Amino acid sequence: MKKLHSISRLLTVPNRSFFLFGPRGVGKSTWLDHALLNAQRFDLLKTDLQVRLSAHPEELESLIGNNPPEWIWIDEVQKVPRLLDEVHRLMEERHLKFALSGSSARKLKREGANLLAGRALTKNMEQFSYGELGHQYNLGRAIQYGLLPLVHLYPEDAAETLQTYVHTYIKEEIKEEGVVRKLDPFLRFLEVAGKLNGQQINASNISRDAMISRSNVDNYFGILSDTLLGHFLSSYRPNLKVREVTHSKFYWFDPGVARAASNLVYEPMDEIWAGTALETIFFHELRVYNEYSKKHRGLFFYRTTQGSEIDFIIELTKQKINKPAEIICIEVKYSKKWKSEWFKPILSLQGRKGINIIKAYGVYMGKEILTYHDLQVLPILTFLEKLFKGHIF
């Protein structure tokens, strides 16, 4: 019998083999279990199976047998990268369809695994989104604890769940995989990186605060990004002639996880943190929509040398020789009242050569829709509703 699957996901099953990557605990196995009817599942978390297939990948074929179902599902595929050679062969020779899920492509890539040379699609899953939760979406809680399925389902245990989540990540993704030579510097880094969620990366400050070498700062951010715990947001540079500050920002995938990583999950949340958390969930929703709608537009922020900033830029079309780039600008504020001056950075970008601002939005915690000339201010949930209806881009 299938397990209870209460919240349906936006992802749909592709018609050919695919990888499904996503951070731990976002619901990959639950979704595959539900979406792939009668799939034959190989769960590589099971030690005996893992040991057996590591030693003899060719035994996969005999385990599959002569009457395979439509889908073969290998869960936690990163545990046995070598198995992908066998998968490749079975796809070619027996035209079998594979679903290959795991928490990140990092280990597969590092071990030089055969990533099936484009024969399989790559799909990504994240924690719940507005597009999935609809009226069950609780904004206040999402800002405070994020949207991991277990956090959403059992809000009373949210803080504990998040703390455990970070410990499990450290144990299973970092320690057991031997990702770093020494654990202590990485743990100090995690705490600092959690606190700096949503800020531009300043490697020398982080190096000093976490007492780690400058080169480890890059290395560790690479690990967070490869294990899908966070995402870089680059600054938008439509034409390189103008001098801009170019350092990327780093957003954790989920504000609850960032808070637990920085050991603040049991502390009351201040306004500044709430503001960053709001941006973090906003960026998450943009990523989820971008993936599920298959639009794959570039997402950026914008910062001038004067220090003014636009939170999010969605690049609809790139700049061409005779045509400016087309973009959407969005300013996100954790405030119930909107101030017209918050549009200044967007207005300063308007009319810049090479850029055409197609739409601009302010997104806030207020209840009313406001308009300032061409600029619209929307309550966040109104914006998200429009986003998932395809009315924004």
Interface ranges with Mg ion (CB under 5 A): 29
Nearest residue to Mg ion on Cβ basis:
29
**Of the residues 149, 194, 230, 238, which one makes contact with ligand ATP according to CB under 6 A:** 149
The binder of ligand ATP chosen from 18, 19, 21, 27 (CB under 6 A): 27
Residue 300 pairs with which residues in a beta bridge? 234, 313
Find the part of the chain contacting ligand ATP (CB under 6 A) among 26-34, 49-57, 226-234, 363-371.
Answer: 26-34
Looking at beta carbons only, is 153 or 369 nearer to ligand ATP?
153
* Of 333, 306, 309, residue with least CA distance to 249: 309
Report the residue from 51, 55, 121, 153 that binds ligand ATP according to the rule CB under 6 A: 153
Residue 106, binding choice from ligand ATP, Mg ion, none, Cβ under 5 to 8 Å by partner class: none
Q: Which of ligand ATP, Mg ion, none does residue 362 bind to, with CB < 5 to 8 Å depending on kind? A: none
Q: Kindly state the smallest distance separating residue 174's Cβ from ligand ATP, in Å.
A: 14
Q: Which of 19, 28, 60, 108 binds ligand ATP (CB under 6 A)?
A: 28
24, interface contact from Mg ion, ligand ATP, none, CB < 5-8 Å by kind? ligand ATP
Asked if residue 12 binds ligand ATP (CB under 6 A), the reply is no
Residue count at the site for ligand ATP (CB under 6 A)?
A: 16
Among 11, 17, 21, 22, binds ligand ATP (CB under 6 A): 22
Partner from Mg ion, ligand ATP, none contacting 174, C-beta within 5 to 8 A by type: none
Would you say 27 or 362 has its CB closer to ligand ATP?
27
In this structure, which amino acid lies at residue 234?
S
Q: Which is nearer to ligand ATP, 169 or 189 (CB)?
A: 169
Q: Over the range 79-114, which residues count as b (16 or more CB within 10 Å of their CB) and which as e? A: bbbebbebbbbbbeeeebbbbbbbbbbbbbeeeebb
> Which of 18, 19, 25, 277 touches ligand ATP (CB under 6 A)?
25
146 contributes a contact to ligand ATP by CB under 6 A: no
SS (H, E, C) the chain: CCCCCCCCCCCCCCCCCEEEECCCCCCHHHHHHHHCCCCEEEECCCHHHHHHHHHCCCHHHHHHCCCCCCEEEEECHHHCCCHHHHHHHHHHHHCCEEEEEECCCHHHHHCCCCCHHHCCEEEECCCCCHHHHHHHCCHHHHHHHCCCHHHHHCHHHHHHHHHHHHHHHHHHHHHCCCCCCCHHHHHHHHHHHHHCCCEECCHHHHHHHCCCCHHHHHHHHHHHHHCCCEEEEEECCCCCCCCCCCCCEEEECCHHHHHHHCCCCCCCCCHHHHHHHHHHHHHHHHHHHHHHCCCCCEEEEEECCCCCEEEEEEEEECCECCECEEEEEEEECCCCCCCHHHHHHHHHHCCCCCEEEEEEEEEECCCCCEEECCEEEEEHHHHHHHHHCCCCC
26 near ligand ATP, rule: CB under 6 A: yes
Closest distance to ligand ATP from the beta carbon of 392 (Å) = 25
Is 150 one of the binding residues for ligand ATP (CB under 6 A)? Answer: yes
Footprint on residues 354-373 left by ligand ATP (CB under 6 A): none
CA distance 64 to 42: 10
In the region spanning residues 71 to 110, those forming contacts with ligand ATP, defined by CB under 6 A, are: 103
To the nearest whole angstrom, how small is the minimum distance from the Cβ of residue 22 to Mg ion? Answer: 9
Taking contact as CB under 6 A, which single stretch among the options 58-66, 82-90, 148-156, 345-353 is the one that binds ligand ATP?
148-156
Answer yes or no: are the C-beta atoms of 383 and 278 closer than 8 Å.
no
Q: Specify the residue, 103 or 207, whose C-beta has the smaller distance to ligand ATP.
A: 103
Q: Residue 7 touches which of Mg ion, ligand ATP, none (CB < 5 to 8 A by kind)?
A: ligand ATP
Task: Give contact residues for ligand ATP (rule: CB under 6 A).
Answer: 5-7, 9, 22, 24-30, 103, 149-150, 153
